[in-house]
Amino acid sequence: MTENETNTNYRSGYVAILGRPNSGKSTLLNRLLGQPIAGVSAKPQTTRKRQLGIVTGPDYQVVFVDTPGLHESKDKLSQFINSEAAFALEDADILLYLADGSSRPDAMDAKLAAMVNALEGKVPILLAVNKSDALDGRSFAANKHVYEGLLPGARTLAISASTGSGVEHLLNTLREMLPEGPQYFPEEQVTEVYERDIAAEMIRAACLTHLSDEVPYSIAVRVDEYTERENGMRYVHATIYVERDAQKAIVIGKGGAMIKMIGSTARADIERMSGERVYLDLAVKVLKDWKNNSRFLNELGLSNKG
């Protein structure tokens, strides 16, 4: 038992970060940790499964759970993603609802807010209205007021995850809201996810960044090798899976131009995450209807089956 586990003034707990796709959850998590562990793209639906980010201070530990945004339940992948978000609602000590303050709430916000309100005050809620830098003050305030109406009684503050404005105040507010509890993880640990899994998400985020239309959402990434070579360079071999031959051609691009851009972006992100030089080797394969392939989803950790 550590000293913190016997300190009655020590506060700790799990904070589920909820919000519609592209509200900035992964950007906020990376900002809070001071290093990238979550794939980030300007397009929505970057996150597909829960990811822990651990922030430890002298008298507290916040375990952030970055959850996927809700999806239409059209395939087994979407059903898994929704179950990840629902599980976080039930398991959290605090719910951090991250709203996209650059626009008014949409139908997905209303659906998620209804899930939160159904808890009937069992879990404290902090509403953080993000992207305060994206609009003029009056327009942002008007949007913030509408979000407050969706979650009556929630504590509210404004932040910008991209610039860091208000994020320190957010962390201090969460620390005040935490219950007394033990230190769950060693103070130097920032996530429970393996580096190779983080690398896979960063490759997929690079695909989301560079590819247009619906192609990115038909992509899955599996890291097949993540090893250190004799020259001290990290060798990463990953396979990008798509659903159709036409999508494969788009991902590769004319003369391999697109796959080179994806690889360059992903390699830089993996190097920042790992602190090592990286040689990234990418392949592209077709696996039709992989979103409904239970065995494949299980391999990727995108299934509730063990």
Q: Would residue 234 count as lying in a domain?
A: yes
Residue 173 has pLDDT above 60, yes or no: yes
Neighbours of 197 (CB within 10 A): 19
Q: Would residue 32 count as lying in a domain?
A: yes
Give the confidence band of 52 by pLDDT, cuts at 50, 70, 90. confident
- Summarize pLDDT for 102-134 with one digit per residue, the tens: 999 998 889 888 888 887 778 899 999 999 998
Percentage of the residues of the chain whose pLDDT score is greater than 70: 80
Task: Tell whether 249 and 116 lie within a shared domain.
Answer: no
Which domain does 207 fall in, by range?
A: 195-299
Q: Mean pLDDT over residues 10-39, rounded?
A: 81
The CATH number that applies at residue 143 is: 3.40.50.300
Q: Would residue 187 count as lying in a domain?
A: no
Q: Which pTM was predicted?
A: 0.65
Q: Which pLDDT score, from 0 to 100, does residue 141 have?
A: 95
Task: Tell whether 211 and 97 lie within a shared domain.
Answer: no
Residue 46 has pLDDT above 50, yes or no: no
What are the CB-based long-range contacts (under 8 Å, 24+) for 75-80?
Answer: 75/291, 75/292, 76/291, 76/292, 76/293, 76/294, 76/297, 76/303, 77/48, 77/291, 77/292, 77/297, 77/302, 78/291, 80/48, 80/49, 80/297, 80/302, 80/303, 80/304
Q: Would residue 306 count as lying in a domain?
A: no
- Summarize pLDDT for 3-22 with one digit per residue, the tens: 454 456 899 999 988 888 77
Q: Which pLDDT score, from 0 to 100, does residue 229 have?
A: 82
Task: Tell whether 32 and 120 lie within a shared domain.
Answer: yes
The CATH number that applies at residue 244 is: 3.30.300.20
